[in-house]
Structure 1
């Protein structure tokens, strides 16, 4: 295989971005937005980068944002599809869970433990697997999302563990935005159906209320697996096992600085892959996820120079996996995981000192229960029964110092400790130079860690496909340096280029054990180097047309062997285009908005071979008929055949993905 030298690729990207900046600047001049006031030039504000509100241009990060308008325009059906369209991110799907890849890094078998998921600023990763649910297991309906913010790079100095490769914050809608009741229904390919009812209102006492319930079912399709193509295993055809059934409830209330929220979700997913050495095509094979999370927040101004935020949150997560094995005899095995926790957060943000914005706070989580059980159902035999408790404590301090009117230093330090590991310090440094009111140059440095979670540390089952004992596991660590050039002259134009380099040590992953048909967790002896370039250009060509292009070149490889990691594409290309269709004289159905999205992913190594590059396109048309919003989407428009890498627990090294699918969605407001 011929490889381009890294410096050559960087020169090409740099030249391309220079041309892109020139193009954005030219169209900006044509639009005559130079007359806009400064507050519009500074455009969107973000909260995730520093845990308080600041302009995206001044934030010590290259923040990506997807809005509710984007979700409607491009017909996103779940959180995974939103993330797949964002700069530098890519998704994999193993017919059970969706996995998020960042900057060329997506270890097969990792349950999204290296990204911290927040909902309205509150941690959403569970305390058992540390999993960030980003697919159909995400328990909040996609229509309730107001915006998604993603901050790439390690953020342990701000958020602690799991903020390893990035932080994802889902900001939900307010009741006053709906102003009444809303009913949404949709039908799609593979027996898909979904129903949502939402009520949003603002009462006469300044309170804001949102209540929503959803139910979704998908029959799925019959799937062919070459690894099982024998007469005794239905010739590799898995039937009626790709189903997905989920329900969710979300309640949110806000009044006078106090916010209360409740989310509950349940999902049952069939397992067509016969993962973990199961009997193939057995209808009993499935996983069930259920979670409940509650949060209470108070935010208020304690004087002219001090803002205070306090949060209490708690939740529980339960996983039940039914697996079927031929020991012999054929036996149903049940795997149960349960986690319960309570947490609190306190944060003060002070501007009492001239040219300083100081934030300091404390995060604490009490793991009330972490239980893992595994048993054969008939004849009954208990194979694992492990329970534990623990504490997680973090104390952090940040200072945003205006060294000059055009130069800001961000310095942060966090001390964190898990009850089963030693305490550690993690710094963050960011230097933001405002070249002008619309351009910023950012030099960023940060570190992060991820201690082994309860599943990696304690799950041990001596059965086929089970996880066996290993040496004491060490926390993963990462340090990253990043250079960002961002140009945002208005809400209509934006261009960005990012160069990054990371080093990951003690990488923790699942792999084959010395015993046959067994798996084990272990730390890699060699470190992993990750480096690359991300670019993005966004332009609104008038009031009705929008274009966004994003390209990433990245490499993640073992620093000793120089081998590229599995599921690590060299190239990512994203293109989004949307425009208004029709005019006032057109028929009602011919007046709407058209959204076209194309996603290209470069070739990827699997655990045993290599998958070719592929590209898919999605097309969505949205209009209004008699007060009802109608959305029609075609996904994988050209019916491309492609696959994602599979992890160790699945026989075969790739999982075929869906061909062309359709969806019709109707939303009516009362």
Structure 2
């Protein structure tokens, strides 16, 4: 027996001292350990009552399962079996498996000496009392009780429930009985309402109660309620419930929020989170639900950046600087958005950043310095020649001008308006695409020297009010007011602006024989370029449906002797009005099948008022008014299907119809007696029917082919109808990473305009074209090889060799056998051949830096000296033999202040066919400083154009002078506000 006792004692001491010494660390623990040691020593000495006292004291100071075991063992030694049984039950809770086996043996041993009652309650966890409550609780349900044999009443009690008492239970020694008592809850009625629905309501012990909205009974007392829902912040709330009372609880779970700071190396990039526009870089995006989100940063002209971010509640996520890579995409080359290196054409893009840095006032100025482009201002219109194709007084009718793909050329002269006559400012233009070479395969007539497409601002730009005012060129005062209004996701919106400008003009010296003495001298024209102008542009959109509009009005004085009018008289005037409206639907109607349908209308109104030196019937001198009035209306539509049967192949089919019910030209003059003499009154209507197809096939990663053709059918009410088929073929090779080769060829045409076919001033100076034959369309054949090397993601080196053959070139020719020197519009029999070579190195606009250098040589010749020329020279007039430019933008203060400079080299040009004289060399330098105060929405600019005040005369026709002085040094300033 003694051996057994010692073995048990050793086990108790091992169990006790191991974990206790490491756990007791404060004063109570120290005292508890002392009490335990005293108890252990008393136990060894056989003083079990003292041991029991010390063990109880130790457990009160620091409750410990191992001490409970020693208490139970002490009770057993003094034959307190019921108490020993109870403490063994307590000691078993949480004991290791080996210790549980020892305790189970003790419980089995004691079960033979006591009466065991298994007490269970519903719900569990109720306090157990035996006979009377004042003796204290003997544990919590469920629990076995070891009691003295006899009758016992079991009482269970729990907060919020009515106590339950069992009947007297008689249990004998070694017997066991079960008692199962159900507690009746004391409740109040609670109604839960909330937003959103389906919020889960749990009790403080995580037991589910219900889901909102719901009504339920809750037990009285202080109740802690937990409200939770996926994607919402969990909340807890305490509610004191009293018996029989009713309560209403409204629950609103906020979404757990955080924020994210998004910065990029390009400002004003759109920030989309989970497909919704949230702001523009740099920006802190607040109130983001905690969790994972899809972030997309986009800016037109750059590759989209997409990433997954995780926002934490109450924290700001600071992302690293996002690097925006230039995308270099265009749409005008094939009416599909594509990368420049994949587009079947020679292309330059004047970016939004460049337009802002240089503060270009007009399309004309924006084109200066672009590879292959040369300009001239004849004091009425700005003329553009691309790669030598463009003559004085051709009214830009070999250049196609587009607004987001919609034609802006008029339908009488097919003129492209690129100065203040077209737009007072570029506020509604985000970028400009310049396509060099023929584009009839897409656009039909007029797309001969090139295509200029004005790209509108992105729909995602924020709602704003805009205003600006400034001065440009020769004292041009200009103001603009605009607005942007859209919904949150930019799926619907409208934007527009109206601008006005006025100039008192400039003085310029023209060289010609004014007094008729046979010598050429300088004569000053006052008020050159004096004008008033207004324009408005805008667009609206809802989903895939969009509309755009444009209107311009300009009234300009012409003191420069145009068409031999009275020199230096500002009453010689032109008034140009042009309107365009377009409605477009572009959407994907099935997988990989897209449809574009558009309808447009163009209206042009033109008034010319000239004064000539007239002679009355008796030789009286008087100023004779001469008037031309043009009215033109073109309405049309286009439908196109674009299909990708496989990933590497895109097929496009389209048709375009244009009706021209109004092409009215009216010419008259007023005689000495104020009688009106009609010289011309025609309205030669015509219609154009066109059909085209394009194939874009990616043969391999390193090769793709683009082929297409368009057929135009011209149906004229007067004159000869005709048809023209124009193909284009391009092979694009990528022999290695970063290297790109385009081999391109195609055919283009230009139909004679209504003006060229029918204009006459009463046969005083000009006869209609039918006087000397049939006027036929111009035809052009072009071939080009272009190589580009993307040195890295910023720098590109490009070289291009190109050639063009032009046939049936339309120009003013002398009427055969006519002693009065009259002219008509006819086809020049001699073909034109243009050969050229271009070089360009460019650093795309990145982080406020930009650089571009271009150089080119050009040889534009007639294959034979034109019969209409007075010389044997074959050089084409107005075509420079070389060109070059430098553009640079540097940030003086990043995102605050920029310095921009442009240098354009002007090489000599042949002036006219009747002489071999040329213009002079010139270097035109421009410098502009732009800045912004972002927090106030203020932008400002100061600059000087033609910094060196270089005197430059360029070819014009028909004026009393063969050349026209271009703009000298001029200053600009602009201030804009955006709210």
Which residue of structure 2 lines up, in the alignment, with residue 346 of structure 1? 639
Cα shift at 1:497: 1.1
CA displacement at 1:62 relative to structure 2: 2.0
Tell me the alpha carbon deviations over residues 625-654 of structure 1, each in whole angstroms, 9 at most, x when there is no partner: 55421100100001111111111x211211
Report the more deviating stretch, 249-258 or 618-627: 618-627
Structure 2 stretches of 5 or more lacking a match? 1-304, 307-322, 616-621, 866-872
Residue aligning to 1:302: 589
Residues 510 and 963 of structure 2 are in contact (CA less than 8 Å); yes or no, is this contact kept in structure 1? no
Task: Indicate whether 1:621 and 2:929 are aligned.
Answer: yes
- The whole-number CA distance in structure 2 between the counterparts of 1:467 and 1:192 is 38
**Cα gap change, 1:263 to 1:41, in 2 (>3 Å):** closer
TM-score (norm 2): 0.62
Cα distance 1:613–1:349, how it changes in 2: closer, same or farther (>3 A)?
same
Q: Which residue of structure 1 lines up, in the alignment, with residue 330 of structure 2? A: 46
1:487 is aligned, of 768, 789, 792, to 789
Is 1:630–2:940 an aligned residue pair? Answer: yes
SS where residue 216 of structure 1 aligns?
strand
Tell me by how many angstroms 1:402 deviates: 2.1
Task: Tell whether 2:706 aligns with 1:407.
Answer: no
Pairing 1:418-437 to 2, within 5 Å after superposition: 418-420=714-716, 421-437=721-737
Contact 1:362 1:396 in 2 (8 A): yes
Q: For 1:437 and 1:395, how far apart are their aligned partners in 2?
A: 37
1:18 — aligned with what?
none
**1:87 maps to 2:371:** yes
Q: Which residue of the other structure, out of 385, 391, 395, is the alignment partner of 2:687?
A: 391
User: Is it true that 1:261 corresponds to 2:569 in the alignment?
Assistant: no
Q: Deviations over 1:234-279 (max 9, x none)?
A: 9833233531210011121012011111111100111121111212
1:126-184 superposed Cα distances (whole Å, 9 cap, x missing partner): 11001111111113631211111111111211221111121111111246425310110
Deviations 1:73-118 (A, max 9, x none): 1121110011112111111110000111111222122011111111
Distance in structure 1 (CA, Å) of the matches to 2:456 and 2:324: 24
Q: Which residue of 1 aligns with 2:524?
A: 237
- For 2:631 and 2:793, the matched residues in 1 are separated by 45
Report the Cα distance in structure 2 between the residues aligned to 1:59 and 1:118, rounded to whole angstroms. 18
**1:219-618 alignment, distance < 5 Å:** 219-227=504-512, 229-230=514-515, 236-240=523-527, 242-328=529-615, 329-353=622-646, 355-377=648-670, 378-420=674-716, 421-462=721-762, 464-468=764-768, 469-488=771-790, 491-513=793-815, 514-516=818-820, 518-539=822-843, 543-561=847-865, 563-582=874-893, 592-607=897-912, 608=915, 609-618=917-926
TM-fit CA distance, 1:186:
0.3
| Alpha-carbon shift at residue 531 of structure 1 (Å) | 0.7
Find the aligned partners of 2:326 and 2:952 in 1 and give their Cα distance: 41
| SS, match of residue 427 in structure 2 | helix
Contact 2:791/2:797 (8 A) holds in 1: no
**Equivalent residue of 1:460, what SS?**
coil
| Residue of structure 1 equivalent to 2:51 | none
Q: How does 1:58-77 map to 2 (within 5 A)?
A: 58-77=342-361
Cα drift, residue 288 of structure 1: 0.4
Q: Please, which runs of 5 or more residues in structure 1 have no aligned partner?
A: 1-35, 585-590
Name the SS of the counterpart of 1:567 in structure 2.
coil
In the TM superposition, residue 355 of structure 1 has moved relative to its aligned partner by 3.3
What SS does structure 2 have at the residue aligned with 1:238?
strand
Among 950, 972, 975, the residue aligned to 1:640: 950
Query: Partners in 1 of 2:599 and 2:342 — Cα distance?
Result: 29
Does the aligned pair in 2 maintain the 1:276–1:466 contact within 8 Å? no
CA contact (8 A) 2:892 2:898 kept: yes
Q: Post-superposition shift, 1:463?
A: 5.3
1:76 aligned counterpart, secondary structure: coil
The farther-off stretch of 418-427 and 246-255 is 418-427
Question: Does 2:489 match 1:207?
Answer: no
Give 1:461 deviation, angstroms. Answer: 2.0
Question: TM-score, structure 1 length as denominator?
Answer: 0.90
Runs of 4+ in 1 over 4 A off after TM superposition: 39-42, 231-235
CA-to-aligned-CA distance 1:409-464 (integer Å, 9 cap, x gap): 11101111111332121111000111234221111010001111100001122354
Shift in Å, 1:663: 1.0
| Bigger RCO (CA 8 Å, 6+ sep) | 1
Provide the aligned C-alpha RMSD in A.
2.3
Q: Note the C-alpha offset of 1:353.
A: 4.1
Matches within 5 A, 1:70-149: 70-139=354-423, 141-149=425-433
1:203 CA displacement: 2.5
